[in-house]
Homo-oligomer: A and B are copies of this chain.
Amino acid sequence: MVEQVNVTLPELGRGFHLITSYIASELPRLPEKGMVNIFLQHTSAALTLNENADPSVRDDFETVFNKLVRENDPDYTHTLEGSDDMPAHAKSSLLGASVTIPVSNHRLALGMWQGIYLCEFRNYGGPRRLVITVYS
């Protein structure tokens, strides 16, 4: 059995944002056992799972990713949409457009410290659309 919901996230600024509660509030009733796939329909943002407690982790993610993929590299050719654009595409693929999470006992079977991050790589990314699919 497959259930699917479309969700639009409110616009979030550049950076890494914990969206676990927001996602949980949008989910249909979860099955006893199954899987949830959360899919982002964009190419300059990403979804990942990481530490859900200390905001300094999300701050440092921004630092790490800005060093991994530099802006204003003179070797880039895709530059018309701004200095944040090509790095945003690369960062998006490094983290990926979707996360798949098991469901156990009608709940997301996340580890104690795992949260869902929306990773916004554009300075002005606008609202972001998700497709959430639950299967059981």
Q: Could you tell me which residues of chain A, from 1 to 59, have a CB within 8 Å of some CB in chain B?
A: 2-4, 31, 33-35, 37, 39-43, 48-51, 54, 56-57, 59
Beyond A39-B109, A50-B93, A111-B129, 9 additional contacts (C-beta under 8 Å) are A41-B109, A42-B111, A42-B113, A48-B96, A49-B96, A50-B89, A57-B78, A57-B86, A100-B100
Total identical chains: 3
Q: Which B residues are CB-close (under 8 A) to A2?
A: 31, 33-35, 135-136
Q: What is the interface of chain A, defined by CB distance below 8 A to chain B? A: 2-4, 31, 33-35, 37, 39-43, 48-51, 54, 56-57, 59-61, 63-65, 67-69, 73, 75-78, 86-87, 89-90, 92-102, 104, 109-114, 117, 129, 131, 133, 135-136
Given A33-B4, A39-B102, A50-B43, does the pair A69, B64 have CB atoms closer than 8 Å? yes
Cα distance A8–B2 in the bound complex, in angstroms: 29
Q: Which B residues are CB-close (under 8 A) to A78?
A: 54, 56-57, 59-60
